[in-house]
């Protein structure tokens, strides 16, 4: 396959950045999208040009590091798939493909396609945990948890924190990410103790980080590589409403 | 260098209790006066950093990813072992201990392994309290599955994402401590040197991967939790960033490196599809609970799998190892698959593959149940190969997966450099020559939650070391040497890319020091690696500069270290004139092709001490003494 790439290049946070066109030739359908970029980068290095910077690590769809907007869609548009697991058989010979970084106020670009998603970490630091210290915990089977609750907690906990939900949202809202963590922990008896404070703190931090409001367009769910359901946003809204009624600060 | 394993005296089952009592404590009010540097935020690093911060130490934690949550541990699929005996199937601490020692082919340290089995039960309690959503039965209690090398069901799991859920548990505990100011986190920061002052580790030198700034950090102790070195093979199931840099540079500062030749080749990975391949993908061992491994009986049989009748299939694991069947341990299963392919019975492109077939399981359990158990793995398989494994068997082939070797540590997890501790996959301690499935997660969390936080206190309380001082000339020296290496890499401006060197090295090591090793193949590798390394330093092209994010430069530093480390790996393999676990020397096999261990001459840990550039490292031998188990020929027949 031969393709044309239009790629966002930006030297560092201070550089205004621009789109640059590159040919991608001799691409095999079995390659992953990132392997296709590796091939293009090897070509650039051979010419003495700097390769396109993009983030990746596991390359199997679980670490949440890869983060490309491909043809305007976060992760490229194959349902439930991160861009590292998107394969070139998804494209056609001769395609023109635009590749951009996540774009959101909360995720500043560091270079080319690499962004700073530290805001997500700070949201978790504000309350996305259960406050237990190591040791002195009861036997794991001391407290049965219904399979339904446990499965639902797992559905929410499957979030990989990639940030595609933010990148896809016209308001750059982080609601799906925050809702997934709030719901995961609120679903389990161990997490119920702190549920009020947790949701209050996490929502507050989300606002501090400059993420927008949720207007429930569902674009986040559509691009989520783990198919995290919008239902969790509803669950979080209930959690938040409950916290307001309880009057936490 | 004198290696003292510091194994406590007394009966095996009481060593850890006794040791915990004998260790000196740091008074709670004094803990905050100690600063601990933790490099790595995987299961080992995150759990250690969080726990030490809870205890009151001041912690700095470093990782090269953009968030601690993305450490390679996130990718573990299948599960974590613990001797809970919830299934009432005869499990016990002693059985887990024995299985691990035997699985490691009697090349692990008995006392460490026993302690690992003991604390395994606490790990599950801890994780459940943190909100890890392990799989459960309808009655609300935890459920288990079986893993290779065990005849009991002791593996806890969270769908096919156990590593992710355990890491998120540890990450959340770590985040809590970052939030309340007890841990300072440095993501996108790579450690490039250890600073040793008067024989004790006192700090590290790091490079900020965004700005390129190189700086030093001082601490009362340094903990490396930097994972394994599987990427020396270039293609492996490890994440792209996994590297040997931290432990290698520590080695050059005096931390002996143990058993580098013990590398694990995992039997069930998706076969290589072409030269463009950037990594290999594991299909979890848990699949072997229900999948059956087979190859055609006939050589060069190119029929579609559904066209090959039952009596023309060779279910080789069931045939060769009837009592463990498809759940034979990894080293044994991998070699069996390789044998089938070497005999010309492999399937798929290039004949490098065997089948993992779910037809029987689907018949027995229904597609729904299979989907519930392994759905995400089937989906991943389809994304990569474009094939539907519910309809046609998966094609699998062995791939590099895990490294049992690592920095030598004593019973306290301290390396041969006092004050430098090494935990998780980065150390060598618990898995001998072969690791059993679902035991790496267990070890990482055991080290981080339940062992290191105690033993490090003993170091502080008994050593009474002077406070680290950034002004010490050793810090300046380390900074200068890191800066010089960075400058040198950027100035070579040769013709070959960093990746091309990494690929060539990886292929060389896979061919010469992979699933089967011979004296000759190892000698060839040992001749070729220095040439390749010399070419690297003359002809590599590293683009860009040091004042911006530069992924080419990051990779160059890691490959430079692999090019040195690869030589030690092959030297260790050449020196170990026996076959054990993942180390199979063709010259040393039983008449039936099984590994032939030589306990009389090789019942020791090989710990290599750096002697300076271009000099052959010095081999130290830590004898392995078994008080409790009887060393026997490992049989899964
Ligand atoms: C695909 C796959 C599946 C697996 N499945 C299982 C399983 O089911 N059960 C099981 O028990 N085991 C499994 N394993 C093995 C297990 O996942 C690993 O052995 C384990 O997670 C390693 O944890 P760790 O904390 O030691 O290191 P890692 O998780 O690798 O973490 C290393 C950390 O060190 C940091 N780091 C490394 N070098 C530097 C440096 N120079 N400077 C700064 N930071 C650095 C990284 O940023 C990272 O934070 C699997 C492994 C793979 C590859
Ligand atoms: S690189 Fe890990 S999810 Fe894509």
**Residue of minimum CA distance from atom 20 in ligand 1:** B73
Which residues of chain A are within 8 Å of residue B395 when distances are taken between CB atoms? Answer: none
Domain ranges across chain A: 3-111, 117-245
- Please state the domain count of chain B: 3
Q: In the 3-class helix/strand/coil scheme, how is chain A assigned residue by residue?
A: CCEEEEEEECCCCCCCCEEEEEEECCCCCCCEHHHHHHHHHHHHHHCCCCCCCCCCCCCCCCCCCCCCEECCEECCCCCCCCCCCCEHHHCCCCCEEEEECCCCCCCCEEECCEECCHHHHHHHHCCCCCCCCCCCCCCCCCCCCCHHHHHHHHHHHCCCCCCHHHHHCCCCECHHHHHHHHHHHHCCHHHHCCHHHHHHHHHHHHHHCCCECCCCCCHHHHHCCCCCCCHHHHHHHHHHHHHHHHCCC
B409, B494: one domain? no
Backbone angles phi, psi at B203, to 5 degrees: 165, -175
Q: How far is the CA of B80 from the centre of ligand 1 (A)?
A: 14
B512, B540: one domain? yes
- Could you read off the pLDDT of B221-235 as tens digits, one per residue? 999 999 999 999 999
**Least confident range of A18-32, B107-121, B328-342, B547-561:** B328-342
Q: Pick from A38, A51, A57 the residue to mutate for testing the B interface (most B CBs within 10 Å).
A: A57
Looking from the CA of residue B45, the nearest atom of ligand 1 is 25
Domain assignment of residue B12, yes or no: no
Task: Look at residue B402 and tell me whether its pLDDT is greater than 70.
Answer: yes
B386, B485: one domain? no
Three-state secondary structure call for residue A61: coil
Q: How far is the CA of B593 from the centre of ligand 2 (A)?
A: 39
Nearest to A59 among B165, B187, B279 (CB): B279
Residue of A nearest to B122 (CA): A135
- For A35-41, the CB contacts below 8 A with 24+ separation are A35/B276, A35/B277, A35/B278, A36/A3, A36/A88, A37/A99, A38/B276, A38/B278, A38/B499, A39/B276, A40/A5
* CB proximity under 8 Å: A 55-114 to B: 55-65, 80-81, 85, 87, 89, 110-111, 114
Nearest to A53 among B172, B276, B551 (CB): B551
Which residues of chain A are within 8 Å of residue B66 when distances are taken between CB atoms? Answer: 55, 65, 116-118
Residue of A nearest to B178 (CA): A125
For the segment A22-47, the average pLDDT, to the nearest whole number, is 97
Q: Which residues pair with A115 in a beta bridge?
A: A109
Task: Look at residue B518 and tell me whether its pLDDT is greater than 80.
Answer: yes
Q: How far is the CA of A58 from the centre of ligand 2 (A)?
A: 5
From the CA atom positions of chain B, what is the Rg in Å? 24
Domain assignment of residue B88, yes or no: yes
Residue A126 contacts B, CB cutoff 8 Å: yes
**Amino acid B373: pLDDT:** 83
**Amino acid B192: pLDDT:** 98
Give residue B304's domain range.
265-400
Task: Look at residue B430 and tell me whether its pLDDT is greater than 90.
Answer: yes
Domain assignment of residue B22, yes or no: no
CB contact under 8 A, A60 and B67: no
**Amino acid B635: pLDDT:** 82
Three-state secondary structure call for residue B424: helix
Is residue B108 within 8 A of residue B431, CB to CB? The reply is yes
Which residues of B carry out catalysis?
330
Q: Which residues, 6+ apart, have CB-to-CB distance to B140 below 8 Å? A: A144, A145, A146, A147, A150
Q: Report how far residue A116's alpha carbon sits from residue A120's, in angstroms, rounded to the nearest whole number.
A: 9
| Ligand nearest to the backbone CA of A62 | 2
- Could you read off the pLDDT of B41-50 as tens digits, one per residue? 999 999 999 9
**Amino acid B168: pLDDT:** 98
Looking from the CA of residue A225, the nearest atom of ligand 2 is 3
CATH number of A3-111: 3.10.20.30
Listed residues B355, B371, B400: the one ending a domain = B400
Q: Answer whether B440 contacts ligand 1 (Cβ < 6 A).
A: yes
**Amino acid B8: pLDDT:** 97
The enclosing domain of B363 has a CATH number of 3.90.700.10
**Least confident range of A101-105, B371-375, B561-565:** B371-375
pLDDT band at B273 (very low <50, low <70, confident <90, very high): confident
Which residues of chain B are within 8 Å of residue A185 when distances are taken between CB atoms? Answer: 131
CB-based burial of residue B539 (10 Å sphere; 0-12 exposed, 13-18 middle, 19+ buried)?
A: middle
Domain assignment of residue B37, yes or no: no
Q: Which residues pair with B622 in a beta bridge?
A: B605
The residue count of chain A comes to: 249
Stronger pLDDT, B147 or B311, i.e. the higher one: B311
Q: Report how far residue A118's alpha carbon sits from residue B215's, in angstroms, rounded to the nearest whole number.
A: 21
Q: What's the distance, CA B290 to chain centroid?
A: 26
Domain assignment of residue B38, yes or no: no
Q: Residue B13: how many CA atoms within 13 Å on its side-chain side?
A: 7
For the segment A133-143, the average pLDDT, to the nearest whole number, is 97
Task: Look at residue A141 and tell me whether its pLDDT is greater than 90.
Answer: yes
The enclosing domain of B181 has a CATH number of 3.50.50.60
Task: Look at residue A121 and tell me whether its pLDDT is greater than 80.
Answer: yes
Looking from the CA of residue B70, the nearest atom of ligand 2 is 2
Average per-residue pLDDT for chain B: 96
- From A122's Cα to the closest Cα of chain B, the distance in A is 8
Q: Which residues, 6+ apart, have CB-to-CB distance to B297 below 8 Å? A: B312, B313, B314, B345
Q: Answer whether B65 contacts ligand 1 (Cβ < 6 A).
A: yes
Q: Report how far residue B562's alpha carbon sits from residue B17's, in angstroms, rounded to the nearest whole number.
A: 39
Q: Report how far residue B74's alpha carbon sits from residue A62's, in angstroms, rounded to the nearest whole number.
A: 7
Q: Answer whether B439 contacts ligand 1 (Cβ < 6 A).
A: yes
Task: Look at residue B292 and tell me whether its pLDDT is greater than 80.
Answer: yes
Task: Look at residue A198 and tell me whether its pLDDT is greater than 80.
Answer: yes
Backbone angles phi, psi at A100, to 5 degrees: -130, 165
Measuring CA to CA, which residue among B261, B258, B102, B262 is closest to residue B622?
Answer: B258
Percentage, residues of chain B above pLDDT 90: 93
Q: Pick from B52, B85, B168 the residue to mutate for testing the A interface (most A CBs within 10 Å).
A: B168
**Amino acid B274: pLDDT:** 87
B229, B96: one domain? yes
CB contact under 8 A, B548 and A135: no
pLDDT band at A249 (very low <50, low <70, confident <90, very high): low
For the segment A227-240, the average pLDDT, to the nearest whole number, is 97
B229, B102: one domain? yes
CATH number of A117-245: 1.10.1060.10
Measuring CA to CA, which residue among B24, B78, B71, B34 is closest to residue B56?
Answer: B34
Burial B394-406 (b: 16+ CB within 10 A, else e): bbbbbbbbbbbbb
B347, B450: one domain? no
Measuring CA to CA, which residue among B476, B496, B474 is closest to residue B484?
Answer: B476
Q: Report how far residue A121's alpha carbon sits from residue A161's, in angstroms, rounded to the nearest whole number.
A: 9
**Amino acid B416: pLDDT:** 98
B420: left (phi over 0), alpha (psi -120 to 50) or beta: beta
| Ligand nearest to the backbone CA of B268 | 1
Q: Report how far residue A185's alpha carbon sits from residue A174's, in angstroms, rounded to the nearest whole number.
A: 17
- Could you read off the pLDDT of B318-346 as tens digits, one per residue? 999 999 999 999 999 999 999 999 999 99
Mutational test site, ligand 2, from A61, A69, A87, A163, max ligand atoms within 8 Å of CB: A61
- From A126's Cα to the closest Cα of chain B, the distance in A is 6
Domain assignment of residue B374, yes or no: yes
Domain assignment of residue B35, yes or no: no
B313-314 vs B292-296, strand pairing mode = antiparallel
Domain assignment of residue B571, yes or no: yes
Residue of B nearest to A89 (CA): B386
CB contact under 8 A, B278 and A146: no
Is residue B322 within 8 A of residue B333, CB to CB? The reply is no
B193, B100: one domain? yes
**Amino acid A43: pLDDT:** 97
Is residue B187 within 8 A of residue B201, CB to CB? The reply is no
For the segment B161-165, the average pLDDT, to the nearest whole number, is 96
B275, B337: one domain? yes
- Could you read off the pLDDT of B470-486 as tens digits, one per residue? 999 999 999 999 999 99
B395, B407: one domain? no
Q: How far is the CA of B240 from the centre of ligand 2 (A)?
A: 10
Answer yes or no: pTM beyond 0.90: yes
- From B131's Cα to the closest Cα of chain A, the distance in A is 6
Q: Residue B628: how many CA atoms within 13 Å on its side-chain side?
A: 19
Residues with CB under 6 A from ligand 2: A 56-59, 61-66, 82, 84
Nearest to B69 among A127, A161, A191 (CB): A161
CB contact under 8 A, B135 and A150: yes
CB contact under 8 A, A85 and B384: yes
């Amino acid at each position: 396959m031969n393709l044309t790439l239009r790629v966002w290049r930006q030297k560092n946070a201070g550089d205004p950045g621009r789109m640059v066109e590159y040919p991608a030739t001799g691409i095999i359908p079995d390659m992953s999208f990132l392997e296709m970029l590796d091939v293009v980068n090897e070509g650039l290095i051979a010419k003495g040009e700097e390769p396109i910077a993009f983030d990746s690590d596991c390359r199997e769809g679980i670490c949440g590091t890869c983060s490309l907007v491909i043809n305007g869609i976060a992760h490229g548009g194959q349902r439930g798939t991160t861009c590292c697991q998107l394969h070139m058989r998804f494209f056609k010979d001769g395609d023109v493909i635009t590749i951009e970084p996540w774009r959101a106020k909360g995720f500043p670009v560091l270079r080319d396609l690499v962004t700073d998603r530290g805001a997500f970490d700070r949201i978790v630091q504000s309350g996305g945990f259960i406050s237990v210290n190591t040791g002195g915990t009861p036997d794991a089977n001391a407290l049965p948890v219904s399979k339904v609750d446990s499965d639902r907690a797992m559905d929410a906990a499957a979030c990989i924190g990639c940030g595609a939900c933010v990148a896809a949202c016209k308001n750059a809202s982080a609601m799906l990410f925050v809702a997934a963590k709030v719901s995961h922990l609120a679903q389990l008896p161990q997490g119920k103790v702190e549920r009020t404070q947790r949701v209050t703190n996490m929502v507050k931090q989300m606002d501090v980080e400059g993420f927008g409001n949720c207007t429930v367009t569902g674009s986040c769910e559509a691009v989520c590589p783990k198919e995290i359901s919008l239902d969790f946003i509803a669950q979080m809204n209930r959690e938040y409403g409950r916290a307001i009624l309880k009057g936490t600060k | 260098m004198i290696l003292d394993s510091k194994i406590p005296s007394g009966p095996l089952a009481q060593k850890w209790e006794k040791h915990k009592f004998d260790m000196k404590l740091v008074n709670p009010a004094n803990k905050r006066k100690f600063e601990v540097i933790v490099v790595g935020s995987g299961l080992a690093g995150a759990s250690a950093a969080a726990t030490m911060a809870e205890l009151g130490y001041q912690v700095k934690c470093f990782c090269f990813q953009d968030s601690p949550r993305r450490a390679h541990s996130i990718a573990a699929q299948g599960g974590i072992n613990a001797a809970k005996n919830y299934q009432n199937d005869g499990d016990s601490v002693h059985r887990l201990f024995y299985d691990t020692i035997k699985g490691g082919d009697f090349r692990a340290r008995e006392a460490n392994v026993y302690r690992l089995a003991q604390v395994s039960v606490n790990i599950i309690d801890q994780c459940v309290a943190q909100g890890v959503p392990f799989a459960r039965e309808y009655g609300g209690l935890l459920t288990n599955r079986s893993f290779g090398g065990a005849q009991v069901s002791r593996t806890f799991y969270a769908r096919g994402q156990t590593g992710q859920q355990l890491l998120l548990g540890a990450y959340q505990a770590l985040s809590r401590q970052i939030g309340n100011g007890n841990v300072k986190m440095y993501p996108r920061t790579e450690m490039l040197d250890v600073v040793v002052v008067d024989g004790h580790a006192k700090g590290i030198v790091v490079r900020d991967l965004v700005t390129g700034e190189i700086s030093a950090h001082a601490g009362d102790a340094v903990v490396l939790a930097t994972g394994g070195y599987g990427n020396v093979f270039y293609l492996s199931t490890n994440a792209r960033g996994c590297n040997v840099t931290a432990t290698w540079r520590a080695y050059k500062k005096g931390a002996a490196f143990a058993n580098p030749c013990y590398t694990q080749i995992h039997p069930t990975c998706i076969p290589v599809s072409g030269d463009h391949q950037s990594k290999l993908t594991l299909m979890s061992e848990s699949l072997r609970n229900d999948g059956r491994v087979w190859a055609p009986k006939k050589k060069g049989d190119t029929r579609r799998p559904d066209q090959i009748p039952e009596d023309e299939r060779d279910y080789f694991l069931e045939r060769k190892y009837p009592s463990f069947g498809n759940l034979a341990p990894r080293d044994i299963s991998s070699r069996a698959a390789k044998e089938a392919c070497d005999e010309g019975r492999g399937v798929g492109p290039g004949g490098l593959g065997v089948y993992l077939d779910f037809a029987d399981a689907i018949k027995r359990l229904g597609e729904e149940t299979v989907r519930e158990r392994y759905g995400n793995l089937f989906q991943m398989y389809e994304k990569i190969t474009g094939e539907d494994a519910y309809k046609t068997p998966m094609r699998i082939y062995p791939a590099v997966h895990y490294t049992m070797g690592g920095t030598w540590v004593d019973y306290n997890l301290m390396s041969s450099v006092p004050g430098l501790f090494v935990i998780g996959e980065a150390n060598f301690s618990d898995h001998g020559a072969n690791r059993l499935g679902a035991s790496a997660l267990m070890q990482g969390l055991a080290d981080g939650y339940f062992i290191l936080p105690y033993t490090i206190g003993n170091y502080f309380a008994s050593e009474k070391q002077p406070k680290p001082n950034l002004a010490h000339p050793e810090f300046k020296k380390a900074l200068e040497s890191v800066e010089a290496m960075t400058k040198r890499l950027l100035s070579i401006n040769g013709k070959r890319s960093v990746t091309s060197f990494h690929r060539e090295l990886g292929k060389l090591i896979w061919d010469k020091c992979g699933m089967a090793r011979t004296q000759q193949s190892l000698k060839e590798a040992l001749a070729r690696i220095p040439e390749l390394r010399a070419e690297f330093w003359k002809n590599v092209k590293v683009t860009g500069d040091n004042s911006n994010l530069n992924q080419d430069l990051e990779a160059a530093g890691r490959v430079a270290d692999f090019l040195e480390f690869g030589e030690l790996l092959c030297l260790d393999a050449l020196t170990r004139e026996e076959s054990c676990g993942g180390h199979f020397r063709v010259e040393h096999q039983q008449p039936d092709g099984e590994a032939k261990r030589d306990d009389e001459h090789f019942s020791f840990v090989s710990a290599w001490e750096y002697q300076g550039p271009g000099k052959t490292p010095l081999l130290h031998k830590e004898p392995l003494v078994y008080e409790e188990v009887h060393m026997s020929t490992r049989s899964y027949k």
